[in-house]
A and B are shown apart, each in its own frame.
Chain A
Amino acid sequence: QKEVEQNSGPLSVPEGAIASLNCTYSDRGSQSFFWYRQYSGKSPELIMFIYSNGDKEDGRFTAQLNKASQYVSLLIRDSQPSDSATYLCAVPGAPGRRALTFGSGTRLQVQP
């Protein structure tokens, strides 16, 4: 079983809509969760992290965490064409290993 799973997409939404990106993880001991945005040909950029159950909001982005269900999501409100990118979910690796484990990413397309 993969440690971090994401639907590869593409997820296509119209401009102005809410985009919902989902991620499941296998390690129940994971304490923190990260969302990175990666434009084509560029490096990942950290946009959100969350460590408590519930919601965390930052501008148009909301991260939602449900540890019981081992599920973390990213909502993008008022989606813009500039949001079109691949969104990577990441969790800390095995205990003692500080490096992150990444999902394969979900490609989001926002249609003008």
Chain B
Amino acid sequence: DGGITQSPKYLFRKEGQNVTLSCEQNLNHDAMYWYRQDPGQGLRLIYYSQIVNDFQKGDIAEGYSVSREKKESFPLTVTSAQKNPTAFYLCASSMEGRVYNEQFFGPGTRLTVL
């Protein structure tokens, strides 16, 4: 089955710890995205990548880092510099070269800081 997988589903972080969220897709999509969602709010863009080995900051990139070494994978690291990381993290992907950019989402990772 084609799709987007994220792991883990739930993640607990201690203060001062870096954690990495995994996102993998087998849809052969070129572009991948990371969004953050806080309770009762919409999605805010953290980082996105339109091609391997290239990525751009979104609206709330501070305290986060990403890499895009493979087309299928776009891991997100939440660093200790992110002061309020408790949120629902969503990875998405889309096909480049399409006029209308439909994005499809993975199941999400819920991160809690202890």
Chain A positions near chain B (C-beta within 8 angstroms): 4, 8, 31-32, 34, 42-46, 49, 51, 88, 90, 92-93, 97-105
Contact = CB atoms under 8 A, between A and B. Distances in A.
Contacts of B104: 46
A98 B99 CA distance: 10
Given A31-B100, A34-B102, A102-B35, 18 more contacts: A32-B99, A32-B100, A34-B103, A42-B107, A43-B105, A43-B107, A44-B90, A44-B105, A46-B102, A46-B103, A49-B102, A92-B101, A97-B56, A99-B33, A99-B58, A100-B101, A100-B103, A101-B45
A46 B4 CA distance: 14
A63 B81 CA distance: 42
A24 B63 CA distance: 31
Contact of B101 (A43, A98, A104): A98
B29 to A, nearest CB: 11
A65 to B, nearest CB: 13
Interface string B40-79: 1111110010100000101000000000000000000000
Main SS of chain A's interface residues?
loop
Contacts of B58: 99
Interface in B16-44: 31, 33, 35, 40-44
Interface size class for chain B? 20 to 34
B42 A98 contact: no
A34 B44 CA distance: 16
Given A104-B41, A105-B42, A98 B102 contact: no
A44 B103 CA distance: 10
A4 B33 CA distance: 19
22 contacts: A4-B42, A8-B40, A32-B99, A32-B100, A42-B108, A43-B106, A44-B90, A44-B105, A45-B105, A46-B103, A46-B104, A49-B100, A88-B42, A88-B43, A97-B48, A97-B56, A98-B50, A100-B43, A100-B103, A101-B45, A102-B35, A105-B41
